[in-house]
Structure 1
Amino acid sequence: MTFFSSAALEAAPVGATPALRVSTNYMETFLPLQPVSSGTEIQTYLNTAGMLDIYSVGTTGRVYRYRRTDATLAPYEEADLGIRASQLYFFDAAGGRSDTPSIFGLNSESKLTLATYQSGGYGQRNTGPQDEVIRHFLGVRGVTGRIYINVRLSDGRLCTNYYEPQTDKWGGPVWAPVIGPDGKDAVIKDMAMAANNPVQSALFAIGMDDEVLFAEDSFRTSRLRKLNKKASHIAAIADSENLLNILAVERDSGLLWVKKQRKHSTAGIQFDDWVQVDPGQSGRLGRLTANLRRDGLIEVFALNEAGDLTYTRQVTNSAGKLQGWRVIFPIACDMENRIVAVGRNTNGYSEAYSVTDENQIFRFWQAPDTEQWFSEVLDLPKAEDKLVSVPTHSTEIFVVDAEGAPIYDAPVSVNAAFLCTLWVNGKAYRSSLVDPVSFRTDATGKVVILQRANALAGATLLIATPSTGAGQPIVVQPNAQLQAKMAQTTRDDVLNATDSAGALLLPADTKDREKVAESIAEVTRQSMRIAQADETARAIQYKFASPHALRHSLQADFRSLGTVSWEIDFGSGVPIYRSLDSSDIAAFRSAHAPQLDAGGSFLGIDWGSVWRGIRDGVEWLINGLEKIVVTIIDGIANVLFKIAGQVFQAVIKFAQQALDFIEGVWNWLKVKLEQLFQWLAFLFDFKDFARTAEGIKHSVGVTLDFTADAVHALRGRVEEGFDFLKAGLDGIVNNLILTLNREGDPTMGAYFEQEEPSEAEQHASDHNIFLNAFRENETRLTVKADGAAILRATTALTDPLQDLFGRMKSFSDNFQFGDGKQALDEAFGYFNNIGNEPGRAAQLLLSGLVKALEAAALFALDAAEGIVLTLFDLVEDLIRLVKLALFQEWEIPILSQLYQLFTGDRLTLTPIDVVAWIAAIPMTITSKLILGRTPWTAEQLASFKASFTVEMLKDRLGMSRAKALTAAEANGWTPELRENFLTGYCVVMAFRSLLDPSSAMANASGAGLGPAGIVPAAAGLLSTLFTMPWALSPLAGAPNCQPGDPGFGVTIWICQILCGPGRGIALHYQPWITGEAKITTAELTQTAWGVAYLIMLSVNFANQEQTTRNKLAFSRGILNLVPGQALRFLAIPALNKGTYMIPAAILGVLSFLSCWGSLGVAIAEIHLKDQAQA
């Protein structure tokens, strides 16, 4: 058995081996986040980790620091530095660290202060000349460490001084004036500095007449000269050749100009003429800042008069020489940004931060591969116990070995294609091509990776595992499910698309609505062809590793698509798709030949900027967009944008760029990403899931209340049944092996995969937010009830119950060290020949395992008979103990908040709430997928609760009447009941595939799962409940001990619910056996009952009539109980000490795979036409 589909294995490249099973989903999730609230100022500073810290000045002048963190709930943490200042300037003091830099600032009296970090906190004092009031100051550090400070005083004079950090002394007692062009003290409006000089820096300013002024340095002898441009805002930067560039927003026009220092001059610094950055610029710019990119090119961020953040950068030709600037495009519209700050981290990524009118801080960054712009609000952990809805690209991976079996504790490394935040197993990390996130898989080989869906596109993931060679990570697209969905888009899909409020995305009054819908559908399908040039996207993908693999490439190979040419024409006022041929493309280029440059190309354009502009509804871009032409020739993909008569050209290199076409066309139609998300993503329907959870909890309550009555009805037949099984054990085992031989004597793997669930059926159980939240936070579980009260409750139970657990421990000791040891050793010995490769256990013959368990079964049946009979005698006390355990009050971080969010209830929840809600979401989804309905509507749930009662079950059992009633007479069975219970069984087995291996590994270590260990046991109870005979068949009635009769199936089920999960839950909760002894007792009594259960199931199946045998039900039971119960002895600590946990790993692999196999069989049962089989 492998976790890979048979189709995937058949299609695998020659020599390739399984590496990853990947499931993706475009979905809503919930995280404990709140946005950072800023005030009047933000600054960036590079910390010791090479990341940008954000310093913010609040409205009261307090200074806060926001730092990226890893392995925490939110990307940023907040620190109040305990100082008040504005206009911050940072530097590292001698012997200091950039995590806690020294900070110059102005206090409330506009005097210069210095804050330094000492003894765990900041101290602040006044510094420098104190006689003047400072309105504005700037600082820069020279190579000697000296800090040069330029200030604009209250009367507008420009003055200078310097500070020596080594000696804590200033260069002079006063602010020395800088001389203006007229030989007098310079009076200015604004200033800028650039650290181009080895000693100090160049100084730029805007004079009172708005002239741009310049001095080569800022000594007290410096003299400013005019640069012949009147400006309202300036920024200065030294480029990669250390040449000064002054950028100025022209006063009267608001246009952006640049003046660059000449490389060679005879007399000091000389400049070339002023050059307009973007000759086609429209609109006025305001405050601006410049930054040097990692490739040495200058980029400029500026706010326009509407508060939109705009962007441009230098461009080069094919020879790498500068060739002007990109068109100025907005990258953040309609946000009313007030402040902007820019920085670059150690790895060279530029990041811009802006403060909106609502005081939120947004981070902007550009993917270096796709040039797409992304933005996100800065998030902190939410102070209150609440979660917020977050759109996400969710990726779940299972790391597998060469056999396709999950690998426990495997090292994994993930790199994102561009700088972004990834939530890995519930913790936030920073990731990029140079920032890997490293971790290890859990007991099931699973890793959950979330990234905020700031666009339809996402950050491609590069994943390295033990099976991938050096430099050969596996490429994973985080939105493959979304791509697969969009690749099937039809005209009707678009016509019927609505947001969460039910409003049509394409309004009913849209011009040529059906034609537009067909065009959008075709653009969507064609875009997905481009996105999937390298690999067909699916919701679940199987990734292989090959020793012959080439080094990975993020760039897509479009050669497989052949020649492609199509356009989106906006000329009629709506987007219309047209297919083109080579003559159409030639005619288009010919018509616009005057715009071609010397290389035969149109003016280049920043891919991300144009799409961001369309997305944000930039008016001149939306109104001016005439046509988008897409061509792929000889594997080279180009896009031509015709905007306001000009033609721009961009290149498609990466799969994720193709999603921009879809989002862009919808954005042009004024449909925003939020609405697309509401249409395309999976959103949670709280009411549907709440009904399912309520139905599950009702079923559990009824079953527990009914169990005691059922056991009493069966008690007299149990001893007789044990004697029958012991006497015929050899024949029973041989008959089971004969049955398996008729099927070709399958391996465990082959038997497990006899009914393979479809991709959609598997996907329905993936991305379970309740299960993920539990597994990520189970170690932080808090028991809310008073411990002493719990102890009093359990010790108040009868003395015979304590004696029962003592007998269980004695049995366990005997099994481990006494008469049963040889049988246990023989069973374990069957796994010896797989060595240290747990995944190979699936290759062993199931018949061999059954034979190996025969001796253990004989011992277990003989020794366990007394325990089982005592369990039956003490059933009331046992059920009381089980109820105490299942309704204990807990709080689990994140999971409790999810529970409160979905139910409106308090944060406290119980183990039965946990398993009910873990099951409710996939059960509802699976029911809709397989049955086309939810498990229960509101009316159906009320009817179910009224009919599915203890009295109904007692009637079916024949306890309250002379004979058992039929299903029809008891009014307690419908085909829908059977379907609901089997659907519930499917999803419980899906999450048991994760819980059972986790509990096995934890128990094998000797530590166990603590209080959370009851959840796997409760899941076992739930899977047993969902196989209730009276729910699955109308033929089930009263119990009997006649193998082959439906009543014997009832007997088996009653024994299972008490001796299996009932015993396990009670053992977990009882206070008398503790530590490793408790774990060992639980696992060995589980094994004992498991082999007895296996024998009972086998003899019943063997005695059924050939024409009425339910082979699927038998297979479902075998798949569930062999690893789930009979092999649990592999998890005892003594067996795993000194064996590197290999026995537990074997059990984990077999449990994981058998749960999925049993799930597949149950789905096949749901589809059975004959629903009357028992």
Structure 2
Amino acid sequence: MTTFQVSTELMKNQKAAQVLSDQSEFDALQTSDGNALFFGIGDTGILYVTQEQQSVTTGWTPVDLTSELSALLPGLTVSAKTFAVSQASSTGDIVVAQVVHTAEDGQDRLFVLTGLSYAPDAPWLASSMNRTWVPRAYDDAANPLDPVTLSYVRLESSQDTQLVPYLVAGVLAPQTSYVSNYLVSLDPGVTTGVWQEYVTAENYTQLLGMALGMPQSSLVFGLYELYTLSGNTSLTFTPSGSLYGPGPVVVTKLDPPGGASAIAVLPVDAQGHTNLYVAAEGSINLFAPAQQTNTGTSVAVITDALVTGVDLVEVNVVGDLVTLWARNSDGTVFYSRCTVEGQADPAAWSAPIPIGQGADQVASSLNLVTGASSLFLHTSGENLQQLAQDPVTTQWSSRPLLLPPLATDDVYEAYTFTTHINVLDASSMPAAASPVTITATSPVAVYLNDVYTTLTDAAPLTVAATDVGTVTIVQETQTIGAVCYAIVADDGTTATINPMTGPLATLSGVTTGTDLDVTVTDELGNTAPLVPAGVTPAQQDAVAQCVQQFSQVAQSLPSDGSVTSAAAYRPSALTARGGGGAFGLSFADADVQFITEVGDVTGAIEAFAGDVLRWIEGVVDDVVKFVVQVADDVAHFFVTLGDDIYHFILTCVSDVMRGVQFVFQKIGVAFDKLVQWLGFIFSWNDILRTHAVIRTFFNCYITYSIDNLETYKAGLITLCTTLQDTINTWAGLPQPSQSLGGEVAAAGSPPGQSSPAANWGTHQLHSNASGATTTASTDEPDVSGFAAVFEDILAAIDRERDDIHAAYTAIKTQIVDQLATLSVETIMERLFAIIADLVVESLENIVIAVIDVLAAVVQGVLSTLDATIDIPVLSWMYKKFAHAPLSFMDLACLITAIPATVIYKIAHGTAPFPDDATTTALIDAPDFATIRTILAQPAAEPANAAVRATLSGSVDPAGALVAPALGSAGDRWKFSANVLALAASFGVSTFSAIKIYYPTNAVASIGNALCYIPYCSPDFGIASAQTWDQIMNEAITGISIVKALVDISLFTFVKGGQNGAFLTFWSEASPFVEYVISTAWMVPTIWALSHNTSVQTIVSVAANVSFNATGIVGIAAVFDPESISKGIFTGVVVATILAYGVGIFASSFLPDDTTSRWPPGTNQGPGPGVSASVSPV
């Protein structure tokens, strides 16, 4: 049965992307699935349509609509000047009109695209080959112009070109600077008389607005114009022509309301008649089609103080819902809504609510699928934002438009709710590529495994876990509220995921003001109090009481984040209840006081929770008080702004969290401080210190291994004389019946394994490795004098090829394919039967013989370890905090230092390598001998008997794993090494998968070799080897590290090409050497059971069997290059890598003592005292 390990953090996260830059003008349409089509001209002079797309990395794909026009204007430099777009409300068809300027002749030219499909996969969006621009050359012979200068083009947002087959263009007369309107035909079949001068009512001093539409009294469409002339404001409608032939048209002069400043239209019927909205001073007025006459009157449908100096009005409709957006003189963007039928009824419109402040550009729409409002908004000095309203909770979210990166340093950073899910199979091993179905309680845009996706409740999304069995969901946020998820495995296993669980747990612990006396720390280690100094203890108490009450309300709402049904609002009933069930805060007289009285809320203005909560976050100082009244299990929220009271109902946990955030904002606690308190902040000083320790350790161990190759060779030669007899004694070893999967499943999830923070580095590696680049290279080594050695080794391989093939097949089918479920006893029995006669001879003839070759060539690849790698996000982050470029060695150390630090701090509450003298000594260690000396030192304060009893892992009464208490630097390293191995297993699996498909990829080859070092770190003997199995383990570990480094050179091997002597030899010998090393490594691995049969050792042994199995199955590429697909091969390799990583990590938390769980009569060994790694230390 599938198991989900789930963890969510409120934390910063990063994405390889560039943010869409400022646009000189923009507009937005939609595809049929409700995703946006954003049209804009940036500083490059190119009109782009940027399509919001599901299942692409950044979520937005820009399409250049300008450069292709150069083919129609040879020899001229083309730049976009202005544009207009429309989308027919009846069909969804799109029209694009683009004005381009050519510098060489100073001309403006108009091109149009018509009849474009709004399907998300419409061909015109995919390629310029599918776009046929129609030139609309200026052709008014009666008024020739040279050059032609166009001031604007105008289409209505929902214009149906079947009814209105024209656009309006403003042509500038160069002598007078007067702009004349022209009707320009959109019909490609019209080739003459395309431009017709559109003579309107009169000249004007200032044009305030224009719109295409049709009153009920008109038989043809025409142009509404709002303008000033001689200090007077006029509103006119000029028809586009007459049904009765040429001649003057009759202009309708409407009576504009006082202070009229902007207009907008909305079609109301199939004939194209339009409602005309006019923004006046203090009101939005409506001229219904029948009232658009010389004597007609308008109705003030929206009256509010917000409506002052309005310069933009947009009206949208989807289904039965109408929304009206406006921007006033101080840049406040507000909206109101009503039904289609209620447009002429002031009582039908909702109270206008501000959604944005300081906006200089706006484009609005209603989602064609959900009916929710969407808004593109730009504020001076900030990035363009897309604001979207949740159609279920009504909460607003905001995000920039992210485009594919152009450089490694193109990184977008934001606060997020990041959810990491480990999908485990019945054996508690990662279920690679397993399908899962995910839904959300309401529509939400997320990055799912680094791919842009919109999750909904209505359309469950089935995706595959990664090849390491993970699912990562990143939900950007500017609040402590979130949308929740549900995940279902293909066997029906389900899990509900509430990203707010962690913050809720912290908030629920707040009962008094002193609970807010918290010190928070930023990512650079700087500390500050959560609550500003100016907040008094009494005010802190008031806030704490309010938070406690909010927590209780949250507990009464659905825990899965869904919306509860709300009772009808009855103001009189609520007022009569007095103080019962009420709580809130008053901010009168610059104070913060806890209150329990609702007061008189008669006449409270009804609004959406999301609208009001977003509004008050922007005008926090204007809030006089708020109070929550719980009645009939419904939480009513009243907030007083000025003289007005607004009311909504807290229907979900996210509403409550937004309310809590406002409370903290009101007392000066910024959002980043809330994240530092309620979420997770990387401690980069601790991480970089761990990184430095690891880097020194690895560099010293590499040097140590290379320097001791001759010693390893001599040791193995000696061991081979008795190794066969040792293998024959396996039958007498303890034979515990537990399996790796069974033990890991019984143990449960070690702390931190599914932490998004701990998995951040490997997630970024998995997402960005394919985009990494490097200039690293290696030269063909000088191997003169080794020709005879090459021949001898290849001859030995050829002699043993059949035996090796048979052994590989047996190990693959009898052990590897069943690895997670086999008991250690069965693994031992089968291994003995397979390798007993082969391992010694292969070790002598192949591995020992190749050691001299490794020693001769390894120096030639060492320079690649410090070569720079440019990998999205990771290189940027390392440079940001380490102030240095990222090398391959740094990469391996970084992606392991992060989880080592995070998990260690989760388990032990402190960094693994604190800023002290011991850590400094480790960082500055000149060689591995020095490191051994440092790590061998006992703890500064020797543990007493009670503490010593906790130096191995344990299981608490509830069944949860408990980390061991660690005293010395050596203990801390051993624990950290197992965490490094887990993290490195993700790195090795990522790079191994790339290598299988792209063997000449330098990044994959070098990255794989470097990640292999921490992958092996539990086998680094930090005490000198004494017994034969320790000597063998150390020798094979060192040889394996050197062999992995030498394998880097293979990325320059060209199959079937011209290769040097060494590459030719090594490309054939390497997989066989790896196979023999891995097979021989089984011997000290299994022999660990002679020392100890604790749960910890059994899991460690089984995990290391998986480690060795990876090298064994790798030879499949030699024996079955055609019959085994790359996909299957990758799956097997990744599975064995991860089985090792998960198992060796879990062993850190398991008891290191023999238990009565083993069958009666089993030889249980001498007892505790052996490290979780194979090498006793």
TM tier, smaller: 0.7 to 0.9
Per the TM alignment, residue 919 of structure 1 is displaced from its structure 2 partner at its CA by 0.9
Is the counterpart of residue 1088 in structure 1 residue 1076 in structure 2? yes
CA displacement 1:790-816 (0-9 Å, x = unmatched) = 233xx214644x77677666666666x
Q: Is the 8 A contact 2:516 2:540 kept in 1?
A: no
Summarize the Cα distance change of 1:767–1:1170 in structure 2 as closer, same or farther, 3 Å threshold: closer
Match of 2:56 among 49, 53, 71: 71
**1:617–1:670 contact (8 Å) kept in structure 2:** no
Residue in 2 aligned with 1:542?
none
Distance in 1, Cα, partners of 2:439 & 2:716 = 59
Contact 1:688 1:924 in 2 (8 A): yes
Unaligned 5+ runs, structure 2: 68-77, 114-127, 242-247, 568-576, 944-965, 1057-1064, 1154-1166
* 1:507 paired residue number: 532
| Offset from partner CA, 1:60-83 (integer Å, 9 cap, x none) | 976455444562457353747255
Cα deviation 1:520-541 (Å, max 9, x = unaligned): 5425633653566248xxxxxx
Q: Does 1:245 align with 2:275?
A: yes
Quote the residue 1:1054 is aligned against: 1034
Call closer, same or farther: CA 1:506–1:1040 in 2, change over 3 Å. closer
- Quote the RMSD (CA, aligned, Å): 4.9
**Equivalent residue number for residue 870 of structure 1:** 849
Residue 12 (structure 1) aligns with: none
Paired residue for 1:259? 286
Q: Give the one of 206, 211, 223 matched to 2:226.
A: 206
Name 2:910's counterpart in structure 1.
933
CA, structure 1 residues 1023+992, in 2 after alignment: closer, same or farther (shift >3 Å)? closer
Aligned to 1:6: none
1:569 aligns with 2:585: yes
CA distance in structure 2 between the partners assigned to 1:846 and 1:329 by the alignment: 67
Check 1:519–1:702 CA distance in 2 against 1; reply closer, same or farther (3 A cut): same
> Where do 1:179-194 residues align within 5 Å?
179=201, 189-194=208-213
Report how far residue 679 of structure 1 moved: 4.1
Deviation at 1:187, TM superposition (A): 9.6
Match 1:1123 to one of 1087, 1102, 1106: 1106
- 1:612 Cα offset (Å): 0.9
Equivalent-residue separation in structure 2 for 1:611 and 1:1125 (angstroms): 57
**1:771 equivalent in alignment to 2:755:** no
**Are 1:232 and 2:232 matched, yes or no?**
no
Q: Return the letter of the residue paired with 1:761.
A: G
What per-residue deviation string (whole Å, max 9, x for no partner) do you get for residues 376-415 of structure 1? 3334455554235322222233445566543333456666
> What's the CA shift string for 1:531-578, capped at 9, x where partnerless?
66248xxxxxxxxxxxxxxxxxx545899xxx9944222255555556
SS where residue 24 of structure 1 aligns? Answer: strand
SS in structure 2 at match of 1:774: helix
* Counterpart Cα distance in 2 of 1:1155 and 1:705: 25
Q: Name the residue aligned to 1:327.
A: 351
How far apart are the structure 2 equivalents of 1:196 and 1:990?
71
Give the aligned residue type for 1:259: L
Cα shift at 1:1149: 3.8
Quote the offset at 1:1096 in angstroms.
2.2
Q: Tell me which of 674, 677, 684 is aligned to 1:676.
A: 674
Residue number among 684, 687, 690 corresponding to 2:688 in the alignment: 690
Indicate yes or no: 2:876 matched with 1:856: no
Q: Aligned to 1:456, what secondary structure does the other structure show?
A: coil
In structure 1, what is the equivalent of residue 802 of structure 2?
Answer: 818
Q: Residue 288 of structure 1: CA displacement?
A: 2.5
User: Shift of residue 229 of structure 1?
Assistant: 1.4
Q: Within 1, Cα distance between the matches of 2:612 and 2:1129?
A: 58
C-alpha separation in 2, matches of 1:480 and 1:320: 46
CA deviation vs aligned residue, 1:133-161 (integer Å, no higher than 9, x gap): 87666335542562153769889898663
Give how far 1:629 is off: 1.0
Corresponding residue for residue 784 of structure 1 = 775
Q: In structure 2, the residue corresponding to 1:728 is in which secondary structure?
A: helix
Preserved CA contact (<8 Å) 2:83 2:99: yes
Cα shift at 1:918: 0.8
Identify which range, 300-309 or 926-935, moves more after superposition: 926-935
Superposition deviation, residue 372 in structure 1: 1.3
Structure 2 match to 1:353: 376
Residue matched to 1:443: 467
Deviation per CA, 1:23-52, whole angstroms, max 9, x where unpaired?
Answer: 322222233444433354322344688643
Partner of 1:1069: 1049
Which has the larger displacement, 1001-1010 or 920-929? 1001-1010
Secondary structure, counterpart of 2:1016 in structure 1: helix
Tell me which residue corresponds to 2:958: none
Equivalent positions of 1:542-621 (< 5 A) are 554-555=562-563, 565-572=581-588, 573-574=590-591, 588=598, 591-592=600-601, 594-595=602-603, 603-617=605-619, 619=621
Q: Residue 529 in 1 paired to residue 555 in 2?
A: yes
- The equivalent of 1:313 in structure 2 is 337
Which residue identity is paired with 2:827? L
2:782 maps to: 796
Q: Which residue of 2 aligns with 1:494?
A: 516
Indicate how the Cα distance of structure 1 residues 722 and 167 shifts in structure 2: closer, same or farther if over 3 A, else same. Answer: same
60 and 1065 in structure 1: CA distance in 2 versus 1, 3 angstrom threshold: closer
Deviation at 1:723, TM superposition (A): 3.2
Alignment partner of 2:37: what SS?
Answer: strand
Q: Are 2:417 and 1:393 aligned?
A: yes
Q: Is the 8 A contact 1:157 1:177 kept in 2?
A: no
Measure the CA separation in 2 of the matches of 1:382 and 1:23.
29
Distance 1:984 1:269 in 2: 83
Q: Is the 8 A contact 2:439 2:455 kept in 1?
A: yes
Contact 2:393 2:442 in 1 (8 A): no
> CA separation in 2, counterparts of 1:557 and 1:1084?
67
Aligned to 1:545: none
1:900 maps to 879
Q: Which amino acid is 1:233 matched to?
A: S
Cα distance in structure 2, aligned partners of 1:658 and 1:1136 = 59
Distance 1:1129 1:978, change over 3 A: same
> Which residue identity does 1:41 align to in structure 2?
E
8 Å Cα contact 1:458/1:656 also seen in 2 = yes
- The range that moved more, 770-779 or 129-138, is 129-138
Aligned with 1:27: secondary structure? strand
Cα distance 1:810–1:678, how it changes in 2: closer, same or farther (>3 A)?
farther
Equivalent residue pairs, number: 1054
* Alignment match, 2:300: 275
C-alpha separation in 2, matches of 1:110 and 1:1008? 52
395-404 or 298-307, which deviates more: 395-404
For 2:456 and 2:1088, how far apart are their aligned partners in 1? 58
Shift of residue 991 of structure 1? 1.7
Going from structure 1 to structure 2, the CA distance change for 1:436 and 1:777 (only over 3 Å counts) comes to: farther
- CA distance 1:611–1:847, change in 2 (3 Å): same
Provide the identity percentage: 14
Q: For 1:289 and 1:1117, locate their aligned partners in 2 and report how far apart those are by CA, in whole Å.
A: 68
In 2, the alpha carbon distance for the partners of 1:313 and 1:1040 equals 81
Residue 68 and residue 1142 in structure 1: after superposition, are their counterparts in 2 closer, same or farther (change >3 A)? closer
- For the 8 Å contact 1:139–1:149, the answer to whether it is kept is yes
1:727 is aligned to 725
1:877 & 1:655 partners in 2: Cα distance?
Answer: 65
Contact 2:323 2:335 in 1 (8 A): yes
CA distance in 2, matches of 1:1111, 1:320: 80
Q: Distance in 2 between matches of 1:1001 and 1:777?
A: 14
Q: From the superposition, tell whether residues 62 and 1124 of structure 1 become closer, same or farther in structure 2 (CA, over 3 Å).
A: closer
One-letter code aligned to 2:300 = V
Partner of 1:846: 824
* 1:923 shift after superposition: 1.6
Structure 1: state its 5+ residue gaps: 1-16, 536-553, 596-601, 833-837, 957-964, 1031-1035, 1042-1047
1:916 shift after superposition: 0.7
Aligned positions of 1:23-38 closer than 5 A: 23-38=7-22
CA distance in 2, matches of 1:1007, 1:485: 49
Given the two structures, how large is their TM-score scaled by the length of structure 2? Answer: 0.78
Q: Does the C-alpha gap of structure 1 residues 277 and 674 become closer, same or farther in structure 2, counting only changes over 3 Å? A: farther
SS in 2 for 1:1114: helix
Give the conservation status (yes or no) of the 8 Å contact 1:757–1:1159: no
1:168 to 1:943, Cα distance in 2 relative to 1, 3 A: same
Q: Does 1:88 align with 2:88?
A: no
Of 123, 130, 138, which aligns to 1:127? 138
Q: TM-score, normalised by structure 1?
A: 0.78
